[in-house]
Amino acid sequence: MRLIDRVCLITGGAAGIGRATAERFIEEGARVVICDVNEEQGQETVKELGSQCMFHNVNVSHRQAVQEWVDDVVTRYGRIDVLVNNAGILRDSQLVKVKDGVLVKQMAEDEFDLVVEVNLKGVFNCAQTVAPTMIKQGRGVILNATSIVGLDGNFGQTNYVASKAGVVGMTKVWARELGRYGIRVNAVAPGFVQTQILMAVPDKILDRMRAQTPLGRLGQPRDIANAYLFLASDEACYISGAILRVDGGIVVGT
């Protein structure tokens, strides 16, 4: 029961890694409040995880919605012990695509903006909103979802890589700024994880992902949830500013 009675916020908590993290935290005694933009999945997750879980429909890129969510949690519980900034989206495309010397496609500006709004600004919004409560408490944990591609880069993911590399930078800044208040800030960098995002990926691509991973398999959401659990717990009380790769040993190639 490493998180007994701790109040934990998880963004993008209705499915995938976020849902697995909520489940894992509840198993360790936490009271979990998830947010997501998918109302139906969010309500279903709460039904499955039980009375220790609550759901709010929140778009993390909307600052006022985040503020109202956090205010409600503080009013209800009086504290926030852990924030997991898990919410994120993909809109993959090459910077430019050329065929026979002619430009045929390029990443749309609105798709670049949308990914950065959710994956980077959303993390900023949530962290900045919970920080005053954690400072007042004199303790807290902020955990950010980056990615191995935020560290290594990846073909066709300019927007996603930019957002996740930005999360790495913000994690290191906040660890320095907030450490004096007893707040630890770390990030987890997953590799290829078998979530709903991969359901549309062809089998031959999935096979290549497995082949590129030294451990020979895709990650499971619970693998990442276990990393979040460790970093959220007192077992990691002297870890801050770290980027923990949970990737089966992979290094993304060209």
Tens digit of each residue's pLDDT, the chain (254 residues)? 999 999 999 999 999 999 999 999 999 999 999 999 999 999 999 999 999 999 999 999 999 999 999 999 999 999 999 999 999 999 999 999 999 999 999 999 999 999 999 999 999 999 999 999 999 999 999 999 999 999 999 899 999 999 999 999 999 999 999 999 999 999 999 999 988 877 767 888 888 888 889 999 999 999 999 999 999 999 999 999 999 999 999 876 64
pTM for the model: 0.95
150: nearest Cα among 137, 139, 161, 134: 161
Q: SS3 for 53-81, per residue?
A: EEEEECCCCCHHHHHHHHHHHHHHHCCCC
Task: Say whether 238 is catalytic.
Answer: no
Q: Catalytic residue among 77, 160, 181, 228, which?
A: 160
The answer as to CATH 3.40.50.720 being correct for domain 7-245 is yes
Q: CA 28 to CA 25: how far, in whole Å?
A: 5
